[in-house]
């Protein structure tokens, strides 16, 4: 029996997530593994990061193929699927306790400034904090932290190359701005942008973190849905300015986080660049 269990484990370890390049066993996706040697059946539940994962068919075929190769013809795989619920953490970021998104409906409202100050403030309170600049179309965190010309190092972990985040003001920082030349545009379509962000998240050597703050791109597109659905953040913060146009777009961002397929708790709304008025200076209103 122990030999059969080892062979099944060996077969499943050859099933690789094509996005992450790691086995489903290593990623902790295999649940409820059982087998019946008389009926030649292996049953398991595969936990996905989202109910709408497009790789269900791929995983089912690969599991069947690897079990057949390892155990021989006649063995059958019974695969069921489940998905993580919002706020429950993720196997993709095992070293991160809390993933917090900082978003906005439109650009130019100071979202990156709020994200950087939030990260530094949490670090000053004694928390272990990381900051990911996910605004891949216009990464500004390197400028805000004085790291325009910095480049991350690469470290090997279990045979995989991982980017080592930079460290500034007590915060572990990663940004696409570290990887592309200054001033170079990144005119990527939605799927490419989402895949790049996913890769940047999981292929960074994050240390044990109490908080990972993610400075998201403005809007409610593919990147936002990828972060919200696949990485199960514990909360989101929306940044806006007092203008009616900015507030209208902020409401759209709020609505997105409350959608049934997203369900990310909104922790608050920051009204940035709001005026300050005193009775002594009524003309400054």
The 3-class SS string of 243-278 reads CHHHHHHHHHHHHHHCCCCCCCCEEEEEECCCCCCC
Distance of alpha carbon 69 from alpha carbon 143, whole angstroms: 52
* Per-residue pLDDT reduced to its tens digit, 238-282: 888 888 888 888 888 888 877 776 778 888 888 888 876 777 776
From 3-7, 176-180, 264-268, the region with the lowest mean pLDDT: 176-180
The alpha helices in 13-55, defined as continuous H runs, are none
Helix (H) / strand (E) containing 131: strand 129-133
- 1 class by beta-carbon count within 10 Å (0-12 exposed, 13-18 middle, 19+ buried): exposed
| pLDDT at 90 exceeding the cut of 70 | no
| pLDDT at 18 exceeding the cut of 90 | no
The set of residues, in sequence order, having a beta carbon less than 8 Å from that of 3 and lying 6+ positions away, is none
* Per-residue pLDDT reduced to its tens digit, 109-162: 888 999 999 999 988 888 889 999 887 777 888 889 898 888 888 888 877 888
Domain 2-83 fold is GMP Synthetase; Chain A, domain 3 (3.30.300)
Which residue spans of the chain are classified as CATH 3.30.300.130?
Answer: 2-83
Task: Please state, in angstroms and as integers, the Cα–Cα distance from residue 100 to each residue in 166, 209, 254, 278, following that order.
Answer: 19, 12, 15, 35
| pLDDT at 86 exceeding the cut of 50 | no
Domain 99-271 fold is Rossmann fold (3.40.50)
Which residue spans of the chain are classified as CATH 3.40.50.300?
Answer: 99-271
pLDDT value at residue 256: 81
CB-CB neighbours of 76 under 10 Å: 13
pLDDT value at residue 284: 62
């Amino acid at each position: 029996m122990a030999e059969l269990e080892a062979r099944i484990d060996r077969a499943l370890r050859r099933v690789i997530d094509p996005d992450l390049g790691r086995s489903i066993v290593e990623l902790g996706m295999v649940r409820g593994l059982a087998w019946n040697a008389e009926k030649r059946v292996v049953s398991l539940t595969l936990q996905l990061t989202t109910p709408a994962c497009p790789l269900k068919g791929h995983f089912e075929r690969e599991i069947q193929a690897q079990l057949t190769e390892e155990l021989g013809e006649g063995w059958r795989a019974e695969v069921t699927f489940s998905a993580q619920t919002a706020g429950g953490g993720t196997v993709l970021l095992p070293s991160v306790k809390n993933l917090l998104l900082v978003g906005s409906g439109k650009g130019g409202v100071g979202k990156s400034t709020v994200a950087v100050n939030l990260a530094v403030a949490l670090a000053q309170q004694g928390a272990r904090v990381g900051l990911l600049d996910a605004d891949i179309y216009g990464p500004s965190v390197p400028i805000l932290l004085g790291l325009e010309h910095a480049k991350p190092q690469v470290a090997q972990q279990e045979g995989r190359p991982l980017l080592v985040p930079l460290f500034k003001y007590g915060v572990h920082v990663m940004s696409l701005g570290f990887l592309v030349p200054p001033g170079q545009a990144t005119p990527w379509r939605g799927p490419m942008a989402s895949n790049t962000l996913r890769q940047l998240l999981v292929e960074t050597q994050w240390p044990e973190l109490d908080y990972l703050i993610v400075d998201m791109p403005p809007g409610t597109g593919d990147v936002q849905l990828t972060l919200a659905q696949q990485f199960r953040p514990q909360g989101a913060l929306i940044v806006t300015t007092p203008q009616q146009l900015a507030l209208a777009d902020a409401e759209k961002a709020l609505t997105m986080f409350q959608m049934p397929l997203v369900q990310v708790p909104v922790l608050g709304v920051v009204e940035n660049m709001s005026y300050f008025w005193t009775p002594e200076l009524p003309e400054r209103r």
